[in-house]
Structure formats: C-alpha cells, structure tokens
Amino acid sequence: MPERPSVLFVCVHNAGRSQMAAGWLEHLGEGRIEVRSAGSAPADRVNPVAVAAMREVGIDITEAAPRVLTPEAVMASDVVVTMGCGDACPVFPGRRYEDWALDDPAGQELAAVRRIRDALRERVAALVADLV
C-alpha cells in the first residue's frame, strides 16, 4: 500500500451510501487517506436525508456532488468499496475490492438512514485501521 492510500466508494446513484462513507473516511482518516466516490448511474444531488443524518454526527456533506464512475477513478484507487452497484464497477488487477452489503437510503426515513450511517462508520473505522 502506498504512503497515502486511496479509496473509492461506489454505489449506483452516488447520492447516499457512497457519499456517507466518503464523509466518514474524510473524518476518520484525518487526511491520511485519499477519498473518492462515484456512481454507476449518478443522481442529480446527494440524498437530503443522508445529508441530515451525517449532519447529526457533525459531518457536513452538503458540498458533495454525485459523480460518474470511470475506469480512471478505479485505476487511481488502491481500494474500491462497492455498495450495490453489481457488475457496473470495472475490475482491474492490482486493486483491492470489497463489497459492503448495506441498504440503500433512497426513499428511507431518517431513522433507517441513521442505521445505515452507523453501520458505515463501523466499516470505515475498520478500513482506516487496516490502511494506516
């Protein structure tokens, strides 16, 4: 692993899970890990319920914007974490891939999104411990 590893979080719309995971990694990684996120079919904006859930724990993702998943983003990342994007994520040799099975926050109430947020925190904390 390089001195400053990079992680790419991928979900379908890049509007909920991947944005919350990126927010957690920015926070917990304290600048020691480069953070990216993308989606196989990006939405227009980040899910406002995900924004609200992250705000509750002091993490501001209001400036985040959904981005399209590109092969270049995958190639530039040491670890690629997928969340429900199926076969849409390109696979390249030499990359570490993880698939996190988590509910999609789209259309969910805040209480359900809080559970997803908290599950993401646990997984991201373990990833940080593994990478630094």
Give the catalytic positions in this structure: 11, 85, 89
- Secondary structure (3-state) at 3: coil
124: its two tokens: 């991201």
The H or E element spanning position 8 is strand 6-11
Q: Which amino acid, one-letter code, is at 121?
A: R
The runs of H, that is alpha helices, within the chain are 17-29, 48-56, 71-75, 110-131
Distance CA 48, CA 34 (A): 24
| 96 close to 78: Cβ distance less than 8 angstroms | yes
